[in-house]
């Protein structure tokens, strides 16, 4: 069989098998995913616009929350429109260029979110445990540098995997057993030993998943100790409102990510992997705005002020 590189001509294409094993579910999935995608677009755009317009939300917390909302918009848009097209019609193809772009941006945005959630937990730690020094610790210029570091680290990590995957030779197979182009799915198409690629993926995934998660849990351990010393009931409620929302978002993102990327691609059940990926690419980004809106008094107050102005 003739070997074919993944970086062949731009006229090449891949077939995204997606959920074609369950054709009877495709219409149902199309409707459900479209609803969640619209919720993601509307909810995250709402938070971005509200944080920009309401001066009471011009704080580090909502600066990072706006970054998270913009990130989720890009994150879902990198894969969901292509999935909807494939679910709607008989063609399941994606161009070579489209596949490479999707692979790069999806991994870049997912990595950025891991780091950004860690930064948001540090912001909550500074607000609860170092309230007298909060304005100094979270100076607007420093917040901008932290946000920039999140985006740069995510796109740099993705560039590494993109280059390694780009040079993997294939054996003429074009069928990707997933609903979007990701590194583990493309490695399965290779006709050579990809253990080095898998090891690289596991190591960097550990760095960008486990290390942020450990730091997040450490931040909330310190927050929990500070909360236990609080005497004010109002203060307790405010801490639980903001920190509880962030912890829910962290859980919804990190648990599926660990299931997907902290084991070799060959060790995953493909069907299970598809539905886990569907959860963190479709469901989680749509729930984030609801979690922050329903559990956060500041956001609810900003909504009321906006309604009065109208």
For position 32, which CATH number holds?
1.20.1070.10
Backbone angles phi, psi at 138, to 5 degrees: -110, 55
| Number of other CB atoms surrounding residue 305 within 10 Å | 14
Query: In angstroms, rounded to a whole number, what is the distance separating the alpha carbons of residues 226 and 230?
Result: 7
Report the domain count for the chain.
1
Query: In angstroms, rounded to a whole number, what is the distance separating the alpha carbons of residues 147 and 130?
Result: 21
- What confidence score (pLDDT) does residue 224 get? 82
Query: What is the mean predicted confidence (pLDDT) over 22-35?
Result: 89
Beta strands in the chain (DSSP E): 4-5, 13-16, 93-95, 169-170, 175-176
Whole-model pTM: value is 0.86
Range of the domain at 185: 4-309
Which helix (H) or strand (E) segment holds residue 52: the answer is helix 26-53
State pLDDT tens for residues 51-106. Answer: 888 888 889 989 999 999 999 999 999 999 999 998 887 788 888 888 889 999 99
Report which listed range, 125-129, 149-153, 248-252, 297-301, is most confident: 149-153
Check: CB of residue 254 under 8 Å from CB of residue 158: no
Check: CB of residue 16 under 8 Å from CB of residue 82: yes
Q: Which of 291, 271, 295 is nearest to 283 (CA)?
A: 291
């Amino acid at each position: 069989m003739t070997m074919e590189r993944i970086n062949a001509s731009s006229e090449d294409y891949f077939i995204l098998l997606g959920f074609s094993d369950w054709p009877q579910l495709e219409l149902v999935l199309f409707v459900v995913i479209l609803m969640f995608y619209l919720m993601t677009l509307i909810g995250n755009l709402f938070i971005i616009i509200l944080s920009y317009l309401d001066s009471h939300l011009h704080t580090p917390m909502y600066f990072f929350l706006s970054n998270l909302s913009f990130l989720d918009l890009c994150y879902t848009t990198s894969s969901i429109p292509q999935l909807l097209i494939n679910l709607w019609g008989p063609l399941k193809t994606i161009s070579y260029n489209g596949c490479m772009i999707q692979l790069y941006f999806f991994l870049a945005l997912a990595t950025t979110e891991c780091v950004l959630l860690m930064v948001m937990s540090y912001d909550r730690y500074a607000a609860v445990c170092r309230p007298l020094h909060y304005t100094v610790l979270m100076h607007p210029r420093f917040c901008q540098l932290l946000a920039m570091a999140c985006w740069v680290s995510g796109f740099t990590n993705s560039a590494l995997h993109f280059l390694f995957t780009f040079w993997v030779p294939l054996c003429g197979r074009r069928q990707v057993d997933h609903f979007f182009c990701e590194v583990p799915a493309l490695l399965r198409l290779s006709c050579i030993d990809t253990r080095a690629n898998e090891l690289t993926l596991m190591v960097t995934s550990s760095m960008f998943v486990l290390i942020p998660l450990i730091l997040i849990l450490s931040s909330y351990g310190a927050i929990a100790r500070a909360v236990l010393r609080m005497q004010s009931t109002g203060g307790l409620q405010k801490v639980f409102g903001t920190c509880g929302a962030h912890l829910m978002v962290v859980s919804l993102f990190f648990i599926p990510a660990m299931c997907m990327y902290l084991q070799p691609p060959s060790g995953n059940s493909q069907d299970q992997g598809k539905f886990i990926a569907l959860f963190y690419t479709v469901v989680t980004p749509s729930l984030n705005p609801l979690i922050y809106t329903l559990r956060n008094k500041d956001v609810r107050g900003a909504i009321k002020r906006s309604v009065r102005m109208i």
